[in-house]
Homo-oligomer: A and B are copies of this chain.
Amino acid sequence: MSLKSFFEPSSVAVIGASREPGKLGHEIFKNIIDAGYKGNIYPVNPKAPDVLGVRCYPSIKQVPGEVELAVVIVPARFVPSVISDCGEKGVKAAVVISGGFGETGPSGAELERQLVEAARKTGIRIVGPNCQGVNSTSAGLCASWPLVRTKGPISVISQSGTVLAAIACWAEEEKVGVDKIVALGNKCDVDETELLDYFSNESTTRVIALYIEGVRDGRKFFRVARAAAEKKPIVVLKSGRTAKGAQAVASHTRSLAGKDAIFDSVFKQAGVQRVSSVEELYDVCKAFASLPLPTGKDVAIITSSGGSGILALDTCVELGMNAPDLPPETREKLKEKLPPECILRNPLDLTGSATSQMYDEAIAALSDSGAVDALVVIVGDPMPGISDVIIKHVSQGKTIVPVMLGGGKAEVEERTKLVDSRIPVYSDPVRAVRALATCVRRAQWLGSLK
């Protein structure tokens, strides 16, 4: 069965919806309503007449209409029978938030076995148990926490609810937004591989972020990931790199972390981009979400900060990109347009006396030169008007990675304007270049570099 019922259900029941703020059964129900879900929504709780003013039903079987998706937040021991009831009701899919299953030991594992059995009998697909839920922004379905509503191109599959939430929160803050995000939990049924395949075919997803601690079937993962990577950028954060980490993985999600070197080579061959921290996972997704894929490795750096330019340059070179010299005719053109203190090299240093107009000239001249495939534009001073300049050039299809730091209040204002135009900004030149380098690495893997 397709996974569509998890992300575009016509109706949702929240089994274990609660009237008590602070309880998950309350927060999740509230988040679904606050996220603007448009389908029918049914709280299920035998002890409450209504939740947040919505009429409540004592059991899923007594809900009057059809229910496509169930979100389950009841104690573990009740979950297998709840799933059976869902089956009788004709529910297609269930997100089981509740913990207390395989992750807690043998008796929990037995409950999980019963849950799987109940699901198999009735054909219900399960996300979880022991997970932070699902959020499908296009459906306004935040069956997770915290509340995140901003639609965007990043889909996330995560064995950690926190990694999932962190990416979603940062993407909301910078108005990049997320498409569909799924916390895998114990992945008793739906797993990373199936979701990867599904998301790779979703037109609203432009980049897929993965946090995993292990995979169930390595060969299948490799096959699916490779096919998915042909369609979309896939960025992975894999923990359990060390022996100690691998032991902790076994306690956390009962996954086999496996030999890290093997994962590393699988990722490389499959064209999956590996990162090493949660922020880098976000940085790289943001780059894939907002930049056209580079068609070459040649980068120009434009900066008002000589030092930041050199830090960016070092990183470019170390990560296999080129920072070619400016073509003589571009140098000549810039010599006419820019004041004499500017250093007409790559990095093109507009110096502390830079203005937005100078950035405009510099971006135009370097784009026109055809000598580079991407521009890293570092704004290291208060620079009123710079956002308009960047917005203009980005809207003309130029590949610009904007970096802003050290600009105080003026920076906050310009950054906000860029973010409002869905142009995310980096605050560290090294982080920005690392993200760009990952895009170049993907282009290389695709064979699409000129």
Identify the A interface with B (CB < 8 A).
22, 99-100, 103-104, 132, 145-148, 158-166, 168-169, 211, 213, 237, 239-245, 248-249, 251-253, 276-279, 304-311, 313-314, 317-318, 323, 340-341, 343, 345, 347, 349, 351-353, 380-382, 384, 405-411, 427-431
- Determine if A428 and B146 form an interchain contact, defined as CB atoms under 8 angstroms apart: no
A310 CB contact (under 8 Å) in B132, B249, B277, B407? B249
Please judge, given known A-B contacts A99-B353, A278-B405, A352-B132, whether A248 and B410 are in contact too, CB under 8 Å. no
Q: How far is the CB of A313 from chain B (nearest CB, A)?
A: 5
Other-chain residue from B22, B237, B341, B430 in contact with A99 (beta carbon distance below 8 A):
B341
Q: Name the residue on B nearest A158 (C-beta).
A: B307
- Which of A159, A168, A239, A343: most chain B Cβ within 10 A? A239
Please state if B347 and A381 are interface contacts (CB–CB under 8 Å). no
In the complex, are the beta carbons of B132 and A241 less than 8 A apart? no
- Identical copies of this chain, number: 2
Are A308 and B99 touching (Cβ within 8 A)? no
Query: Considering the chains assembled together, what is the distance between the CA atoms of A132 and B406 in angstroms?
Result: 11
Residue from A22, A148, A304, A430 having most chain B Cβ neighbours under 10 A: A430
Q: Are A248 and B345 in contact (CB under 8 A)?
A: yes
Min CB gap A217→B, angstroms:
21
Q: A160-B307, A239-B314 are in contact. Are A104 and B277 (CB under 8 A)?
A: no
Q: State whether B405 touches A166 (Cβ < 8 A).
A: yes
Question: Smallest Cβ distance from A415 to chain B, in angstroms?
Answer: 12
What separation, in Å, do the CA atoms of A335 and B57 have in the docked complex?
37
How far, in whole Å, are A132 and B356 apart by their CA atoms in the complex? 19
The answer for the CA separation of A169 and B307 in the assembled complex, in Å, is: 17
A104 to chain B, nearest CB (A): 6
Assembled-state Cα–Cα distance A213/B243 (Å): 38
Whether the Cβ atoms of B406 and A163 lie closer than 8 Å is yes
Cα distance A9–B428 in the bound complex, in angstroms: 34
Is B340 touching A104 in the complex (CB atoms < 8 A)? yes
User: Which of B145, B343, B405, B431 sits near A382, CB closer than 8 Å?
Assistant: B145
